[in-house]
């Protein structure tokens, strides 16, 4: 078995596999070490993604990977609600187990070596040989570049935990699940700092979840499901943390490169990360290849620069909206929802961009009426936030 590679990616999920695919495309050698037995399993994801985002990731999902199409989103507060429509076929629900396998196939066709059941126990750098020594239980690997794509575990081990929320998601059969409408429910008392959701996954199934700060996710999720009636069957349960703290300041430390969830590349509003984490993987892979091949004096830091130029401002705005929502109680959120007009909703439906949704949020939170209301509710705190 080969043990020496130009690059080793630890973590065989969306960001790690896309990074490996790009490195292989340039002809460099790369191995992906994944602790689980099977790529894509267990699935820790709702699978909601835009077709446009997938195109940018270079993925045309197989029919096996597409579970459903969604056309509407119902946003609900404790007493109010409004509905936003999307164009048919723009937003789909994926089976992540299939999607990740599809990307693994793309990567291995180009030359990546993927090894499952390879839990990485330690990573050390030998400065005299300028190489990483990466140990699994059964093997030792060597590489010039180490790509950390270990997901939230990496963030939790190395950074403060403020940005981590616990979540639970069940996939269930229930006749009360709307076939093509997502539900997002805000309730500050039940889901502090986040929300509950239903993502219809086709054929009467749905992914129903909750996340929040310091909540008992199991009890909270079961009471959310029970609120719709007693008729349902659970076919899969997942418990996983989500990251809402925004990106790390740096993704590159010499030849150690952090991508995906491990770099905090998930949206601070919804914790969605297939697109933004996947782009992290692609940009890192491209820049590692350029740097190694010395193309136009390129630097590994160019990956960081490019990711921030695409997502930096957007994520900053999302963090700002998050801070506002965190400070509003249920009554204030109701008040905010009641000033969303039909023309606002029409405008959001027309112009909303799933992957860059801060513009849609600013239509709700940035209208004159909303700013006046938020200023009254938050007073000096808003000025502090704006600063």
Ligand X SMILES: Cc1cc2nc3c(=O)[nH]c(=O)nc-3n(C[C@H](O)[C@H](O)[C@H](O)COP(=O)(O)OP(=O)(O)OC[C@H]3O[C@@H](n4cnc5c(N)ncnc54)[C@H](O)[C@@H]3O)c2cc1C
Are 184 and 361 contacting, i.e. CB atoms less than 8 angstroms apart?
no
Distances (CA, A) of 176 to 197, 220, 386: 14, 19, 42
Residue 352 and residue 87: Cα distance in Å, rounded?
10
Query: Given the complex with ligand X, which of 28 and 277 has the nearer CB atom?
Result: 277
Residue 265 and residue 280: Cα distance in Å, rounded?
7
Binding status of residue 106 toward ligand X by CB under 6 A: no
Query: Given the complex with ligand X, which of 36 and 306 has the nearer CB atom?
Result: 36
Binding status of residue 10 toward ligand X by CB under 6 A: yes
Q: Which of 212, 246, 260, 285 binds ligand X (CB under 6 A)?
A: 260
Report, in this order, helix, strand and coil percent for the chain, each rounded to 5: 40, 25, 35
Binding status of residue 34 toward ligand X by CB under 6 A: yes
Residue 356, both tokens: 């860059």
Q: What is the DSSP string of 24-38?
A: HHTT--EEEE-SSSB
Binding status of residue 50 toward ligand X by CB under 6 A: no
Q: Which of residues 149-188 bind ligand X (CB under 6 A)?
A: 149-153, 167, 169
Q: C-beta of 208: minimal distance to ligand X in Å? A: 11
Binding status of residue 246 toward ligand X by CB under 6 A: no
Q: Which of 36, 69, 90, 306 binds ligand X (CB under 6 A)?
A: 36
Query: What is the CA angle 32-141-282, rounded to 5?
Result: 30
Distances (CA, A) of 324 to 212, 317, 374, 386: 16, 11, 8, 10
Binding status of residue 15 toward ligand X by CB under 6 A: yes
Binding status of residue 201 toward ligand X by CB under 6 A: no
Query: Given the complex with ligand X, which of 265 and 332 has the nearer CB atom?
Result: 265
Query: Given the complex with ligand X, which of 49 and 377 has the nearer CB atom?
Result: 49
Binding status of residue 264 toward ligand X by CB under 6 A: no
Listed ranges 5-13, 109-117, 320-328, 375-383: which one lies at the site for ligand X (CB under 6 A): 5-13
Distances (CA, A) of 163 to 156, 159, 225, 268: 9, 9, 26, 9
Binding status of residue 44 toward ligand X by CB under 6 A: yes
Query: Given the complex with ligand X, which of 147 and 336 has the nearer CB atom?
Result: 147
Q: Which of 9, 30, 49, 198 binds ligand X (CB under 6 A)?
A: 49
Contacts of 221 (CB under 8 A, 6+ apart): 168, 169, 170, 196, 208, 209, 210
Binding status of residue 273 toward ligand X by CB under 6 A: yes
Binding status of residue 215 toward ligand X by CB under 6 A: no
Q: Which of residues 313-372 bind ligand X (CB under 6 A)?
A: none
Binding status of residue 375 toward ligand X by CB under 6 A: no
By CB under 6 A, how many residues form the interface with ligand X? 37
Query: What phi and psi values does residue 269 have, to the nearest 5 degrees?
Result: -85, -45
By rule CB under 6 A, what string of x and - marks binding of each residue 274-313 to ligand X?
A: x--x------------------------------------
Residue 12 and residue 337: Cα distance in Å, rounded?
41
Query: Given the complex with ligand X, which of 194 and 232 has the nearer CB atom?
Result: 194
Q: In 3-state terms, what secondary structure has residue 376?
A: helix
Residue 385 and residue 387: Cα distance in Å, rounded?
5
Query: Given the complex with ligand X, which of 26 and 169 has the nearer CB atom?
Result: 169
Residue 180, both tokens: 């093509």
Query: Given the complex with ligand X, which of 30 and 277 has the nearer CB atom?
Result: 277
Query: For binding to ligand X (CB under 6 A), which residues are involved?
Result: 10-16, 33-36, 44-49, 119-120, 149-153, 167, 169, 209, 240, 242, 260-261, 266, 271-274, 277
């Amino acid at each position: 078995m080969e043990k020496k590679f130009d690059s080793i990616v630890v973590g065989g999920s969306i960001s790690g596999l896309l990074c490996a695919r790009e490195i292989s495309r340039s002809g460099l050698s790369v191995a992906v070490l994944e602790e689980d037995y099977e790529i894509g399993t267990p699935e820790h994801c709702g699978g909601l993604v835009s077709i446009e985002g997938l195109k940018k990731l270079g993925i045309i999902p197989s029919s096996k990977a597409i579970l459903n199409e969604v056309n509407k989103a119902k946003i609900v507060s404790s007493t109010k609600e409004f509905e936003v429509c999307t164009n048919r076929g723009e937003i789909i629900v994926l089976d992540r187990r299939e999607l990740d396998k599809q990307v693994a196939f793309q990567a291995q066709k180009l030359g990546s070596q993927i090894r499952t059941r390879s839990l990485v126990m330690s990573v050390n750098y030998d400065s005299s040989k300028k190489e990483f020594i990466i140990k699994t239980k059964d093997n030792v690997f060597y590489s010039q570049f180490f790509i950390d794509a270990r997901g939230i575990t990496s963030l939790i081990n190395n950074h403060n935990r403020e940005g981590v929320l616990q979540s639970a998601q069940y996939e269930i059969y229930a006749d009360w699940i709307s076939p093509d409408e997502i539900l997002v429910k805000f309730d500050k008392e039940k889901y502090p700092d986040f929300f509950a959701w239903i993502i219809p996954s086709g054929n009467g199934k749905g992914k129903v979840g909750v996340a929040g700060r310091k909540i008992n996710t199991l009890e909270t999720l079961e009471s959310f499901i029970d609120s719709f009636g007693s008729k349902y069957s659970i076919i899969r349960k997942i418990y996983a943390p989500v990251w809402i703290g925004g990106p790390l300041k740096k993704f590159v430390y010499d030849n150690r490169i952090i991508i995906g969830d491990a770099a905090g590349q998930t949206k601070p509003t919804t914790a969605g990360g297939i697109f933004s984490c996947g782009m992290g993987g692609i940009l890192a892979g491209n820049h590692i290849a350029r740097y190694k091949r010395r193309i136009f004096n390129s630097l590994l830091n160019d990956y960081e620069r490019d990711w921030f130029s695409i997502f930096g401002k957007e994520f900053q705005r999302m963090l700002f909206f998050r801070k506002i929502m965190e400070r509003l109680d249920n009554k204030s959120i109701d008040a905010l929802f009641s000033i969303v007009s039909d023309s606002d909703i029409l405008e959001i439906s027309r112009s909303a961009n799933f992957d860059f949704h801060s513009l849609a949020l600013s239509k709700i939170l940035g209208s004159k009426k909303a700013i006046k209301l938020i200023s009254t509710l938050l007073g000096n705190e808003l000025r502090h936030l704006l600063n």
